[in-house]
């Protein structure tokens, strides 16, 4: 029977089980989910308890947490509460802003309208142009949103014709998923309440080989410009927009 001292092994099992059901999460997110299952505030708290207990005998009874019994049987609980626990804990870890949720729906709509098999970073950036948080950052970085929209639309309509399929719903590319996960991790690490379109926009720059990053750089917008505005309110060239 597993207890909190097996947390890392449990996190690996949880991550694999979620992946099998179509939920892809990072290692750090799986650790936070395990902490949530045990009713602990976060992984750091659980990790500290694990270290404190490391000097004790292996068969010593684990401490009791507010919402988790000692001797927690992971496999049975996972089978019966996997989706409920993962959804609730994930929501606690990272809330999407209402604007970003609309942006993500709009992204998929752009891909579906064109019968594209995949929703790419270019579909995402096109949708971010109409996201208030992302648009504010781009304007502060002197991006011509009209020109950017034209370039993206032309690229999507002419260069992504190979993505057209006869039927089926569009699904995000691996790069798309990486960008969202990267934005979530950054927000979690800074202990902010929600992920916004601005965070997603910044995360696009890490996909250096993407056309989305190219189109932003073409307008001389950099990762530094975006972060400087989000963190300090300083527009490109100095001052407040």
Q: What is the pLDDT of residues 68-112, one digit of tens each?
A: 333 434 444 444 444 555 555 455 455 789 999 999 999 999 999
Among 93, 117, 137, identify where a domain stops.
93
Q: What is the dihedral of CA 179, 181, 184, 188, to 10 degrees?
A: -130
Q: Is the dihedral of CA 94, 98, 99, 105 positive or negative?
A: positive
Q: What is the pTM of this model?
A: 0.64
Q: Are residues 208 and 153 in the same domain?
A: yes
Residue 237 domain-assigned (yes or no): no
Q: Are residues 136 and 182 in the same domain?
A: yes
Q: Are residues 128 and 190 in the same domain?
A: yes
Question: For residue 164, what is the DSSP state?
Answer: B
Among 93, 123, 146, identify where a domain stops.
93
Residue 239 domain-assigned (yes or no): no
pLDDT 10s digits, 121-179: 999 999 999 999 999 999 999 999 999 999 999 999 999 999 999 989 999 999 999 99
Q: Are residues 88 and 61 in the same domain?
A: yes
Q: Are residues 86 and 129 in the same domain?
A: no
Say how many domains are in the chain.
2
Range of 203's domain?
A: 98-232
For 177-215, b where at least 16 C-beta lie within 10 A, e where not — what string?
Answer: ebbbbbbbbbbbeeeeeebbbbbbbbbbbebeebbbbeb
């Amino acid at each position: 029977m597993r207890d909190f001292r097996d947390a890392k092994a449990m996190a690996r099992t949880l991550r694999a089980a979620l992946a099998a059901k179509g939920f892809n999460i990072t290692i750090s997110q799986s650790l936070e989910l395990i902490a949530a299952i045990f009713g602990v505030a976060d992984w750091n708290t659980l990790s500290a308890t694990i270290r404190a207990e490391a000097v004790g005998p292996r068969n010593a009874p684990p401490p009791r947490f507010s919402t988790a019994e000692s001797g927690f049987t992971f496999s049975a609980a996972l089978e019966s509460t996997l989706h409920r626990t993962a959804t609730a804990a994930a929501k606690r870890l990272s809330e999407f802003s209402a604007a970003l949720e609309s942006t993500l729906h709009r992204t998929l709509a752009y891909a579906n309208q064109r019968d594209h098999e995949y929703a790419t970073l270019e579909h995402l950036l096109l949708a971010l142009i109409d996201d208030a948080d992302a648009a504010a950052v781009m304007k502060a970085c002197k991006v011509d949103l009209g020109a950017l929209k034209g370039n993206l639309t032309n690229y999507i309509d002419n260069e992504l014709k190979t993505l057209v399929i006869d039927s089926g719903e569009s699904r995000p590319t691996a790069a798309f998923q990486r960008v969202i996960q990267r934005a979530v991790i950054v927000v979690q690490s800074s202990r902010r309440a929600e992920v916004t379109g601005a965070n997603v926009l910044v995360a696009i720059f890490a996909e250096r080989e993407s056309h989305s990053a190219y189109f932003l750089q073409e307008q001389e917008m950099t990762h530094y410009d975006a972060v400087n505005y989000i963190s300090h309110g300083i527009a490109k060239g100095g001052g407040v927009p």
